[in-house]
């Protein structure tokens, strides 16, 4: 399959990009797969849900031969690497919180009082801001074509997860049947120092 060239993210992956990309993808329809028990409240809860919750999934539409119906689609993409303001503010807040903890610990050990707490909080905020600027500098994004599975879902029971309060939340289990693949543009996060891809939700600290 011939894939078109995807636009580059400005400023070597550190700028903002908003673009619509035409693809050939599977037609889907929202389908009811079944139901599972609703949240089981704890004895301390002042509400009762009870009953069941319905589970829906977007399922590929299949033709008479059992093949997915492929159609023209448009994928809207809007992305940007860590911004100076957002990264610095977030890091400064995190660093400041850490500074407060350190300050309180120092107060307990050395009796420095509120002044020591404030000084440590300020120091933590400064360190957090500096580390966040490093993260911003090292973070980039790019667009890449990625092959995606076309999967049909089927309910396969459910499982429960207990809460600390003694209640239970229920979650559906699925089994899937694959009906081919298609190509879709995805936003890829990478470390500007090495060019290696990373998961921003689990490796943000790796950019510091």
CB atoms within 10 A of CB 79: 18
Run of H or E residues at 91: helix 84-110
Q: What angle do CA 26, 30, 34 make, to 5 degrees?
A: 125
Query: pLDDT tens per residue, the chain (208 residues)?
Result: 689 999 999 988 888 899 999 999 999 999 999 999 887 665 555 555 567 899 999 999 999 999 999 999 999 999 887 654 433 333 333 444 433 333 333 333 344 444 444 444 444 444 444 445 556 677 888 999 999 999 999 999 999 998 887 788 899 999 999 999 999 999 998 888 888 888 777 655 455 5
pLDDT score for 79:
87
pLDDT score for 85:
40
Selection from 4, 145, 148 nearest residue 68 by Cα: 148
Contacts of residue 160, defined as CB under 8 A and 6 or more positions apart, other chains included, come to 37, 40, 168, 169, 170, 171
pLDDT score for 186:
93
Q: Name the pTM for this structure.
A: 0.66
pLDDT score for 49:
56
Q: How far apart are CA 115 and CA 126, in angstroms?
A: 17
Selection from 174, 175, 172, 176 nearest residue 36 by Cα: 172
pLDDT score for 58:
96
Q: How far apart are CA 152 and CA 179, in angstroms?
A: 7
pLDDT score for 173:
96
CB atoms within 10 A of CB 139: 23
Helix, strand, or coil here: 74? strand
Run of H or E residues at 135: helix 113-138
């Amino acid at each position: 399959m011939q894939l078109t060239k995807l636009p580059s993210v400005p400023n070597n992956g550190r700028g903002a990009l908003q673009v619509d990309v035409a693809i050939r993808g599977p037609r889907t329809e929202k389908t009811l797969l079944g139901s599972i028990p609703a949240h089981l409240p704890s004895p301390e809860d002042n509400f009762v849900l009870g009953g069941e919750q319905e589970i829906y999934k977007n399922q590929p539409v299949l033709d008479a031969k059992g093949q997915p119906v492929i159609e023209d689609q448009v994928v809207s993409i809007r992305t940007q690497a860590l911004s100076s303001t957002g990264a610095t503010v977030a890091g400064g807040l995190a660093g400041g919180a850490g500074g407060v903890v350190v300050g309180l610990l120092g107060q307990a050990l050395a009796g420095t009082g509120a002044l020591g707490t404030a000084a440590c909080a300020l120091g933590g905020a400064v360190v957090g801001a500096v580390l966040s600027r490093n993260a911003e500098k090292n973070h980039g994004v790019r667009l890449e074509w990625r092959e995606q599975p076309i999967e049909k879902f089927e309910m396969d029971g459910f499982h429960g997860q207990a809460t600390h309060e003694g209640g239970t939340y229920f979650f559906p289990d699925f089994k899937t049947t694959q009906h081919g693949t298609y190509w879709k543009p995805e936003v890829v996060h990478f470390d500007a120092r090495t060019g290696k891809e990373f998961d921003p939700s689990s490796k943000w600290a790796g950019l510091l």
